[in-house]
Homo-oligomer: A and B are copies of this chain.
Amino acid sequence: MSYKNFPMVPRVIFGRGSFNQINDVLAPKRSSIHAPFIFLIDDVFKNNAWLTSRINLSYDDRIIFVSSKEEPKTTQVDELVEDIILKSKERPSGIIGIGGGSLLDLSKAVALLITNEGEAHDYQGWDLVKNAAIYHVGIPTISGTGAEVSRTTILTGPKLKLGINSDFTPFDQVLLDPELAKDVPKDQWFYTGMDCYVHCVESLNGTYLNEFSKTYGEKSFDLCKEIFLDGDLSEEESQDKLMMASWHGGMSIAYSQVGVAHAMSYGLSFLLGVKHGIGNCLVFDHLEEFYPEGVAIFKQMKAKHSIELPTGICAKLTDEQFDTMIRVALSLEPLWENAIGENWKETITPEKLKGIYKKI
């Protein structure tokens, strides 16, 4: 038996308005005037001076606005890396990701691919990365994915939707400023928050669970219930708590794994480009069989916030399309093993998954 030597984010700032400290945080990390900081920012912040005016661009530093309308792709990482290398006189001083899970994952992947040869899809899987990434900083502007603290970056590649899981993936620095989440639209707030909730349910009900992951998962689960179900919280309290729920939920995966909802959501996302947060919700809504208590609470949360999930998503899919989703979902073996146990292949068959997908 060998236990994972889990890499934690070595530096974290938490506080409302802490984004004001970004320039002070970066300054000592500049390796030369020719080595720029590259800010990858969700393009919803384009022309948003409240955020961007606080970033001091010096020397060759630049902002690249990136759309998060689609889930991040390996080809997108490769293009960003090529662009950054071509336009920088020296290897950049750092990559700063500002946005939700998509931007954070893209930033982690770009930082890795600057120091690792080849293409992003070469590294999809577990522990395939050889070299440390360049300095990279994560600044979430929406909470739930846990991408700020995880050792993965989930990308849609040519054949699979799969993470680059490695000890070099986690950020070197995270800045948690709950104020940055102030303009998140309600639906997106709910779907992304549910990513965190689903992490907790999947981690806490998984076979991989140990006491380390359990304590983080339980705290995150309790916070989710406070925010989405019981709570009579102010907007600020809710933002603060959800940012911490996301953090602890991400930490809960350290010695655990996600499960059925994530595996199937990746299939949905690979084929149809469904965003991860809503994809999780679409699947999780039909997983009473695996997570009876978790799904019951989820339905209460949905009702409380008057969230109507779209229906008929898979109504007109061909058999071939179902097969693609099922192939992607079944490729995520550790997720199934965590969810069901070592003998998961006995019960998790293509027919079984097709039956669930058909309900969506």
Contact = CB atoms under 8 A, between A and B. Distances in A.
A65 interface: no
Contacts of A3: 13-15, 18, 21
A174 to B, nearest CB: 9
Contacts of A211: 14, 178, 237, 240-241, 243-244
A130 to B, nearest CB: 15
Contact of A10 (B8, B219, B255): B8
Contacts of A243: 211
A35 interface: no
Interface residues of A, number: 38
Interface in A190-232: 210-212, 215-216, 218-219, 223
Contact of A14 (B173, B212, B218, B241): B212
A4 interface: yes
A25 B7 CA distance: 13
B15 A5 contact: no
Nearest to A215: B244
19 contacts: A1-B15, A1-B17, A2-B21, A5-B13, A5-B25, A6-B11, A7-B10, A14-B211, A14-B255, A15-B212, A176-B212, A178-B211, A211-B244, A212-B244, A215-B245, A215-B248, A216-B219, A218-B219, A219-B219
Given A10-B10, A215-B244, 15 more contacts: A2-B21, A3-B14, A3-B15, A3-B18, A3-B21, A4-B13, A7-B11, A8-B9, A8-B10, A14-B210, A15-B210, A211-B237, A211-B244, A215-B219, A218-B219
